[in-house]
Amino acid sequence: EEQRSLLLKTSSRFPPPQGVKLSYGTAGFRADASILESTVYRVGILAALRSLKTKSVIGLMITASHNKVSDNGVKIADPSGGMLTQNWEPFADALANASDPEDLVRLIIEFVKKENIHFEGACPAEVLLGRDTRPSGGSLLEAAKQGISSIVGAIALDMGVLTTPQLHWMVRARNKGMKASEVDYFEQLSSSFRCLMDLIPEGSKINEMGDKLIVDGANGVGGEKLAGLKNMLNSPVIDVRNSGKEGGVLNEGVGADYVQKEKVVPVGFGPSDVGLRCASLDGDADRLVYFLVLPKDNKIDLVDGDKILSLFALFVKEQLAILNTNGNEKINNYYHACLGVVQTAYANGASTDYLKKQGLEVLFTPTGVKYLHEKAAEFDIGIYFEANGHGTILFSEEFLCWLEARDNELSSMSKGSEQQKAASRLLAVSKLINQAVGDALSGLLLVEAILQHMGWSIHIWNALYQDLPSRQLKVKVVDRTAIVTANAETVVVKPPGLQEAINAEIAKYPQGRSFVRPSGTEDIIRVYAEATTQDAADSLGNSVARLVD
Task: List residues near ligand 16G by CB under 6 A.
Answer: 26-27, 65, 367-369, 386, 388, 390, 519-522, 526
Among candidate residues 51, 65, 243, 351, the one labeled active-site is: 65
Interacting residues of 367 by C-beta distance below 8 A, sequence separation 6+: 26, 344, 345, 346, 386, 489, 517, 520
150 interacts with, out of Zn ion, ligand 16G, none, CB within 5 to 8 A per kind: none
| Residue 520 interacting partner from ligand 16G, Zn ion, none (CB closer than 5 to 8 Å by kind) | ligand 16G
Could you say which of ligand 16G, Zn ion, none residue 37 binds, taking C-beta under 5 to 8 angstroms by partner kind? none
284 binds, among ligand 16G, Zn ion, none (CB under 5 to 8 A by kind): Zn ion
Minimum CB distance to Zn ion smaller for 95 or for 167: 167
Q: Answer for the pair 274, 295: CB distance below 8 angstroms, yes or no.
A: yes
Which range touches Zn ion (CB under 5 A), out of 265-273, 283-291, 392-400, 474-482? Answer: 283-291
Q: Choose the contact partner of 282 out of Zn ion, ligand 16G, none; CB within 5 to 8 A by kind.
A: Zn ion
**482/327 Cα distance (integer angstroms):** 59
Q: Closest approach of Cβ 270 to ligand 16G, in Å?
A: 29
**DSSP characters over 428-482:** HHHHHS-SSS--HHHHHHHHHHHHHHHT--HHHHHTTSPPPPEEEEEEE-S-GGG
Q: Does 286 bind Zn ion (CB under 5 A)?
A: yes
CA distance 153 to 144: 15
For the bound state, the minimum distance from the C-beta of residue 284 to Zn ion, rounded and expressed in Å, comes to 4
The verdict on whether 539 is a catalytic residue reads no
- Name which of ligand 16G, Zn ion, none residue 526 binds, using a CB cut-off of 5 to 8 Å depending on partner kind: ligand 16G
Q: Judged by CB, which is closer to ligand 16G: 224, or 282?
A: 282
Q: Which of 216, 284, 306, 380 binds Zn ion (CB under 5 A)?
A: 284
Q: By CB neighbour count within 10 A (0-12 exposed, 13-18 middle, 19+ buried), where does 240 fall? A: buried
Question: 26 contacts which partner out of Zn ion, ligand 16G, none, CB within 5 to 8 A by kind?
Answer: ligand 16G
Please give the DSSP secondary-structure letter assigned to residue 200: P
CB of 115 to ligand 16G, least distance (A): 24
Residues 6+ apart with CB under 8 A from 447: 279, 288, 290, 308, 311
Least spacing, CB of residue 122 vs ligand 16G, in Å? 33
Q: What are the b/e assignments for 74-98, b being 16+ CB within 10 Å? A: bbbbbbbbbbbeeebbebbbbbbbb
Q: Which of 365, 312, 297, 353 has the alpha carbon at shortest distance from 468?
A: 353
Strand partners, 6: none
- In this complex, which beta carbon is closest to Zn ion, that of residue 26 or of residue 490? 26
Minimum distance, C-beta of residue 368 to ligand 16G, in the bound complex (Å)? 4
**CA pair distance 77, 91, nearest whole angstrom:** 15
Least separation in angstroms between CB 373 and ligand 16G:
9
For ligand 16G, the closer CB: 192 or 280:
280
Member of 132, 282, 380, 439 binding Zn ion (CB under 5 A): 282
375 binds, among ligand 16G, Zn ion, none (CB under 5 to 8 A by kind): none
Nearer to Zn ion, 67 or 420 (CB): 67
- Closest by Cα among 116, 96, 144, 130 to 55: 116
Which are the contacts of 513, defined by CB distance < 8 A and separation ≥ 6? Answer: 349, 506, 528, 529, 530, 531
In DSSP terms, 476 is beta-bridged to: 524
In sequence order, the β-bridge partners of residue 526 are 474, 517
DSSP string, 388-406: TS-EEEEE-HHHHHHHHHH
Please give the sequence-ordered ranges of beta strands (E in DSSP) within 63-193, or none if there are none.
71-77, 126-131, 155-161
Q: With CB under 5 A as the contact rule, which of the stretches 57-65, 175-183, 523-531, 539-547 interacts with Zn ion?
A: 57-65
How far, in Å, CA of 498 to CA of 492, rounded? 7
In the bound state with ligand 16G, the residue whose beta carbon lies nearer, of 187 and 262, is: 262
Q: Which is nearer to ligand 16G, 193 or 385 (CB)?
A: 385
Size of the site for Zn ion (CB under 5 A): 4
Q: Which does 306 bind (CB under 5 to 8 A by kind): ligand 16G, Zn ion, none?
A: none
Minimum distance from residue 299 beta carbon to Zn ion (Å): 24
Query: In the 8-state DSSP scheme, what is residue 265?
Result: P
**At closest approach, how far in Å is the CB of 26 from ligand 16G?**
4
Using CB under 5 A as the binding rule, whether residue 386 contacts Zn ion is answered as no
Please list the residues that pair with 513 across neighbouring strands: 530
Say if residues 325 and 451 touch (Cβ distance below 8 Å): no
129 or 320, CB closer to Zn ion?
129
Helix, coil or strand: residue 420 = helix
CB of 372 to Zn ion, least distance (A): 14
Q: Based on CB atoms, which residue is closest to Zn ion, 236 or 248?
A: 248
CA angle (214, 215, 220) in 5-degree steps: 155
d(CA 477, CA 111): 35
Q: Which residues bind Zn ion (CB under 5 A)?
A: 65, 282, 284, 286
Q: Which residues are catalytic?
A: 65
